[in-house]
Amino acid sequence: MLTVDFSRFPLAPGDRVLDLGCGAGRHAFECYRRGAQVVALDQNGEEIREVAKWFAAMKEAGEAPEGATATAMEGDALNLPFPDESFDVVIISEVMEHIPDDKGVLAEMVRVLKPGGRIAVTVPRYGPEKVCWTLSDAYHEVEGGHIRIYKADELLGKMKEAGLKPYGTHHAHALHSPYWWLKCAFGVDNDKALPVRAYHKLLVWDIMKKPLVTRLAEQALNPIVGKSFVAYATKPHLARFDKVAAK
């Protein structure tokens, strides 16, 4: 289940991609399939080991084209172990809401992104997320949990302050919002509640089968209750007169 829409976020074979806070690796895997040179980074060593196993399995199965590479590594989003201007593309999906120093993370992403490079940022959308926080303290008051709810203008403003130029936004995963509302209402750790189990089956069916009816429903509902807010931006090239002035 991808949150980034690669029809709006073009990726070319050979692009060097950083999936920052990759988690289980869903976006890193897609970039690998598209022929990129992928680095999947996360602070969770257990998840990184699983991502590395999947990269190896994909290579063995021939799922990645010739020239594509994939590396999984542990790392700190606030202190990335890469030189300046190392990547053509950076993706950070459902991560920034967990990190106290979100401006520091944005600064590091901009540092390692090449001029002209592209970045995709996804966070929980304000409205659906606010419902979750209202229904359940346990949803967010956990170690490593969500510490803030972004409004769209706030996130875009921070991206601009970091030196990025946003060029597009959208919402995603509308069908997942009711699932999390049910989870929060019946208890975030209570997977046995009938409404939660029934809705989970619906989501699994939708992910596996991709039926037209749910695709159309989600497309229609995304602008209203999409669970995620997605923003795309570029890192502008340094103006020629700035380069001259710097000499």
pLDDT (tens digit per residue) in 174-191: 999 999 999 999 999 999
In whole numbers, what is the pLDDT of the chain averaged over residues?
95
Six token digits for residue 103: 């401006």
User: With pLDDT > 90 as the criterion, what percentage of the chain qualifies?
Assistant: 93
Q: What is the DSSP letter of 123?
A: E
CB-based contacts of 138, cutoff 8 Å, min separation 6: 187, 188, 189
**pLDDT, average across residues 203-210:** 94
- Containing 153, the helix (H) or strand (E) segment is helix 152-161
pLDDT in tens, 64-75: 999 999 999 999
Q: What is the DSSP letter of 76?
A: B
Q: What band does 144 get if pLDDT is binned at 50, 70 and 90? A: confident
pLDDT in tens, 42-92: 999 999 999 999 999 999 999 999 999 999 999 999 999 999 999 999 999
Q: What band does 153 get if pLDDT is binned at 50, 70 and 90? A: very high
Q: Answer whether 33's CB lies under 8 Å from 11's CB.
A: no
Six token digits for residue 59: 């290579």
**pLDDT, average across residues 122-151:** 94
At residue 142, the pLDDT reads: 85
At residue 112, the pLDDT reads: 98
- Containing 188, the helix (H) or strand (E) segment is none
